[in-house]
Amino acid sequence: MVNMDKTQTNIKVVIEKIKEPILAFLAALLISCFIISHTQVPTESMTPTIAPGNHLIVNRLPYYYRDPLRGEVIVFNQGKNHLIKRVIAGPGDTINIVDGTVYLNGSILDETGYLDEENVTFPFSKSPVHFPYTVPEGYYFVLGDNRRNSSDSRVFGPVARTDIIAKAGYRIFPLQSMGSIN
């Protein structure tokens, strides 16, 4: 009887010691899977907005209850990779690229807030997308901000809504560039 009580006491002590770390681990896992997560940007496709090597906190919550908005920087699944690009058009929108300029539904798309003056947009010759292009229901047309060096919807076509997983939220590194992603 004494050995049984001692064994139960030892088990309670062990459980008390590992309970908080396990709960903390499970909470972190749930948060990173369903609410926010960290990503590092490996390429130049989003410069000048996001530079290679930047570390971002991305927010998964918005797209549980709403669709992406034009101009938002999103993270999505492309094959086995996560890519980060800007939403240019949504379902039903018509995109055209003429002489380096993007047209949305017949009007020039104002991209002065995120593109450099010399950053022009051209279609790729081997693209599955032919312009003018109307985005199908359930899809989004995305482009990198570094149009000359970006694999985006001009290369792989529109992105399915079901593949969009997060909104780029906050740059946490490098420290001198810390701030919101617009």
Active site residue 85: yes
Strands 36-40 and 133-134: unpaired
Neighbours of 149 (CB within 10 A): 13
- The answer to whether the beta carbons of residues 172 and 122 sit under 8 Å apart is no
| Residues pairing with 57 in the sheet | 38, 170
CA distances in angstroms from 136 to 62, 91, 124, 144, listed in the order given: 22, 5, 20, 20
Q: Indicate which residue of 85, 150, 153, 167 is catalytic.
A: 85
User: What's 177's DSSP letter?
Assistant: G
Phi, psi dihedral angles at 15 (to 5 degrees)? -60, -45
107 tagged catalytic: no
The answer to whether 56 touches 171, Cβ cutoff 8 Å, is yes
Q: Which of 46, 156, 143 is nearest to 93 (CA)?
A: 143
Catalytic one among 37, 45, 150, 153? 45
Distance CA 158, CA 138 (A): 9
The residues carrying an active-site annotation are: 45, 85
